Structure 1
Amino acid sequence: MSTFKKYIVSVLLVCVSGFLNAQTLDDYLKEASENNPGLKAKYAEFEAAMQRVAQVNALPDPKLSFGYFISPVETRVGPQQAKFGLSQMFPWFGTLAAKGEMATLMAEAKYQVFLNARNELYYKVKAAWYPLYEVNRTLLLQEENRDILYTFKQLATTGFKNDKGSMVDVIRVDIMIENTETDIKLLQDKKISLLTRFNTLLNRADTIQVSVPDSIPLLQVENGYRKDSLLTQHPMLEALNLKMQSVQTKEEVAKKMGLPSFGVGLDYVIVGEGQMNVPDNGKDVVMPMVTMSLPIFRGKYKAAVKEAQFTQSAIALSKEDFENNLVSSYEMAWFELDKALELIELYRAQSNKTEQAIELLLTAYSNSGKDFEEILRMQQELLKYQIADAIALKDYYTALAKLDYLTAKSE
């Protein structure tokens, strides 16, 4: 194989490898959901809550007792030497089932909190990815602008040599080139900090590069985007509903705890042989027992019921407050999205008109050597509109990501 062919093959392999390794935003969302420590912590809390169910709906441990008579108690059938006892307590009917239901509902609420944390993480990843797009896009625009300025410099130099311009035009271009170089350097520094923020969300090394496209198409959404699911699908609202059900069950448990509990047991007494020859001499004693608790100190049980009732009121008010904030946040996010869309349309229209003006000015300058300063000014205006378009597009998709989070749109 010739050297040229080897070079072509190597280039193709690099390109294919880069294509295969390029990650999309969806890939980053998946990676974040698998690696983010904060999200893992929320899931671990849910798993811990699930283990609580088996703890609360189990019977209390049976009690085994043993006693030894240092001074045997003499009875008619012989001296009592030792005593074994085994007992088991049973709470009021339905108490264990209610405790299990209460713990299960709390665990389900923890799972909804985990889902909300996942959706919030998706929003944070998007809100960190789109600024990277903005910086990359701005860098490309600044580099293109620098190339155009070098072309203008050549044009001004040629005009000066042909007595159709002045040396001032060349100096002006040099000043603008230097400004552009500085802007590029600052953008590169900014990109480093944005990469750190993004990679931290994915729990990976700060220096790992992120795949960002050179351009993103504008995908408009319908008016009132997903507003019907705002108050019906948000995980935190479902978590509050489950907490309410759990606390209602807790109130029921508190009432049942104020009722008697019952116990059954068995005592076994070891009896030695007595000196008297009587029937059943030395026969061990077996004594079944039944016990019942007497919850006569009612203060703690009444307080437990009141606590559950106040907690229900707190949850109801928290839910109302959350719904109000949810509606307010939705309207603000929709305003930001609509505002960004209008700005995008404006900046793109202005960019097209400015490009046309630059073409006309260049044609006039090639003939007369005049208005070169106006060409530079219009070129900077064009750059300003293009950068503003990139910023508005970033704001648009960030607002859309916020709407997705508020309406619990899962990826």
Structure 2
Amino acid sequence: MRKLLIISILFFAFSAKGQSINDYFLIATENNPELKAKYKEFEASMQRIPQVSSLPDPNLSIGYFISPVETRLGPQNMRFSLSQMFPWFGTLKAQKNVATLMAESKYQAFLNTKNQLFSQVAAVYYPLYELVKLQNIEQENIKILESYKNIANAKFENGKGNLVDVLRVDIMIKDAQTNLEILNKKEPALISWLNSILNRKYDEKIVVSQEIEVIELPFQYRKDSIATNPLLQELELKKQASDVAIEVARKQGLPKLGLGLDYVLVGKGMNNFPDSGKDVIMPMVTFSLPIFRKKYKAATNEAKLMQESYSFQKEAYENKLNGTYYKLVFELEKERDLLKLYEGQVTTLSKSLNLLLAYYSNANKDFEEVLRMQQELLKYQKMQLSSISTFYIKLAELDYLTAKQF
């Protein structure tokens, strides 16, 4: 099979007919606190870059000789020392690269949270859509049953029917009314659930769209886009950061260069030498001696092990995504087949019900069959709605796997 029939809801944004799911995606993006927290983590990680790519602070020391040191040119009264350490060549750039890659991984984590949020919205929006449609079906069912009751009453009063038909349809009306009451009570729960995801008041009004249209999509729907899943991208960036961290650990194990300057204030000497009382300026060069190698070796091994860990995590998650993809495709195909079956059953039952009702109106027969077929029609209408809701939820999960942008 090359193509998969997919039922897709087309909505008109902020219209009287309802708001599309994309509208609620936008509201969730702007309001959801978990998503905001992830973005703040990304922003915080960006502040790490200038911290690791800057030179260490210079050192300034001041010394005062309580007992001045007498020299041939005069007594030394005060000493100033200024020094600056420089890491090995390329260390700061490597540290900056590590911080940059880690910040990019945080952004991918933010994107993954956003995609998860969209899937959560869909998991509530479509059942709410189903509930609204079920309410309409039950209301219409009650009207139909009441019309049946009027027909049964009229035939009973004319002596052409029996009381059992009236009582039977009355029982079905009460069942339908109870079902409608349950649906009405369930609606606030779904609305509050969706509003909690949107970070709004629990009772704020939610209006779902009513428009649907059938379209076709390729069988391998967005299969190649699995590689763009933010979690995979996040693990790849962390793997790259660990690779650069190995270089950082190696460079940190090399000597550091220090440049400095000493300035000594010298008082006037008692001897009349030409340079008597002249201050002393002394440039200095220092080197660190990284002779304790265990910590540098451990840092290198840590980076290598984390690189291997991220590689295995990415491979495992990629396998999981591919396996879930084919599972969801199967479930979409199943719902498509069921929808096709339900659509045919509803059409056939509607025609049969009209014929039976006409036959009953002209003869005193088959009222029980009329009621049975009405319930059968109602069952398939509800199953059709349930299948549509399930279909869209699974499609939203598939869009999450393939990192679809809305």
TM-score (norm 2): 0.94
Q: CA deviation at 1:213?
A: 2.6
Question: Any conservation in 1 of the 2:17–2:209 contact (CA below 8 Å)?
Answer: no
Q: CA deviation at 1:33?
A: 1.2
Match of 1:248?
Answer: 243
1:46-57 aligned at under 5 Å gives the runs: 46-57=42-53
Question: Any conservation in 1 of the 2:17–2:210 contact (CA below 8 Å)?
Answer: no
Question: Any conservation in 1 of the 2:53–2:95 contact (CA below 8 Å)?
Answer: yes
1:63-142 aligned at under 5 Å gives the runs: 63-142=59-138
Match of 1:8?
Answer: none
Match of 1:294?
Answer: 289
Question: Any conservation in 2 of the 1:90–1:263 contact (CA below 8 Å)?
Answer: yes
Match of 2:9?
Answer: none
Question: Any conservation in 2 of the 1:137–1:215 contact (CA below 8 Å)?
Answer: no
Match of 1:177?
Answer: 173
What is the alpha-carbon distance in structure 1 between the residues aligned to residue 228 and residue 156 of structure 2? 68
1:203-222 aligned at under 5 Å gives the runs: 203-222=199-218
Question: Any conservation in 1 of the 2:18–2:209 contact (CA below 8 Å)?
Answer: no
Question: Any conservation in 1 of the 2:19–2:209 contact (CA below 8 Å)?
Answer: no
Q: What do residues 254-305 of structure 1 show as CA deviations (whole Å, max 9, x unaligned)?
A: 0000000000000111112233333322221111100000000000000000
Amino acid of the residue matched to residue 408 of structure 1?
A
Q: CA deviation at 1:141?
A: 0.4
Match of 1:166?
Answer: 162
Q: What do residues 306-360 of structure 1 show as CA deviations (whole Å, max 9, x unaligned)?
A: 0000001100000000001101111111121111111111111111121122122
1:317-328 aligned at under 5 Å gives the runs: 317-328=312-323
2:382 corresponds, among 369, 387, 402, to 387
Amino acid of the residue matched to residue 289 of structure 1?
M
Match of 1:190?
Answer: 186
Range that drifts further, 209-218 or 60-69: 209-218
What is the alpha-carbon distance in structure 2 between the residues aligned to residue 193 and residue 218 of structure 1? 30
Question: Any conservation in 2 of the 1:336–1:395 contact (CA below 8 Å)?
Answer: no
Amino acid of the residue matched to residue 330 of structure 1?
Y
Aligned with 2:213: secondary structure?
coil
What is the alpha-carbon distance in structure 1 between the residues aligned to residue 303 and residue 365 of structure 2? 83
RMSD: 1.4
Match of 1:303?
Answer: 298
Q: How many residues align?
A: 393
Question: Any conservation in 2 of the 1:57–1:97 contact (CA below 8 Å)?
Answer: yes
Q: CA deviation at 1:77?
A: 1.6
Amino acid of the residue matched to residue 333 of structure 2?
D
What is the alpha-carbon distance in structure 2 between the residues aligned to residue 20 and residue 85 of structure 1? 76
Match of 1:262?
Answer: 257
1:333-372 aligned at under 5 Å gives the runs: 333-372=328-367
Q: What do residues 74-113 of structure 1 show as CA deviations (whole Å, max 9, x unaligned)?
A: 2222221111110000000000010111111111111112
Range that drifts further, 132-141 or 170-179: 170-179
Q: What do residues 149-171 of structure 1 show as CA deviations (whole Å, max 9, x unaligned)?
A: 11011011011111121111111
Match of 2:405?
Answer: 410
Question: Any conservation in 1 of the 2:17–2:208 contact (CA below 8 Å)?
Answer: no
What is the alpha-carbon distance in structure 2 between the residues aligned to residue 369 and residue 287 of structure 1? 122
Aligned with 2:220: secondary structure?
coil
Range that drifts further, 310-319 or 368-377: 368-377
Amino acid of the residue matched to residue 404 of structure 1?
D
What is the alpha-carbon distance in structure 1 between the residues aligned to residue 138 and residue 179 of structure 2? 8
Structure 1 stretches lacking a partner, 5+ long: 1-17
Match of 2:371?
Answer: 376
Q: CA deviation at 1:21?
A: 8.8
What is the alpha-carbon distance in structure 2 between the residues aligned to residue 27 and residue 150 of structure 1? 39
Amino acid of the residue matched to residue 316 of structure 1?
S
Question: Any conservation in 2 of the 1:56–1:99 contact (CA below 8 Å)?
Answer: yes
What is the alpha-carbon distance in structure 2 between the residues aligned to residue 65 and residue 188 of structure 1? 78
Q: What do residues 176-217 of structure 1 show as CA deviations (whole Å, max 9, x unaligned)?
A: 111111111111111111111111221111112222133522
What is the alpha-carbon distance in structure 2 between the residues aligned to residue 28 and residue 327 of structure 1? 28
Q: From the superposition, tell whether residues 20 and 191 of structure 1 become closer, same or farther in structure 2 (CA, over 3 Å).
A: closer
Q: From the superposition, tell whether residues 367 and 20 of structure 1 become closer, same or farther in structure 2 (CA, over 3 Å).
A: closer
Question: Any conservation in 2 of the 1:136–1:214 contact (CA below 8 Å)?
Answer: no
Q: CA deviation at 1:22?
A: 4.2
1:279 corresponds, among 270, 274, 279, to 274
Q: CA deviation at 1:368?
A: 2.2
Aligned with 2:285: secondary structure?
strand
Match of 1:11?
Answer: none
Q: CA deviation at 1:380?
A: 0.8
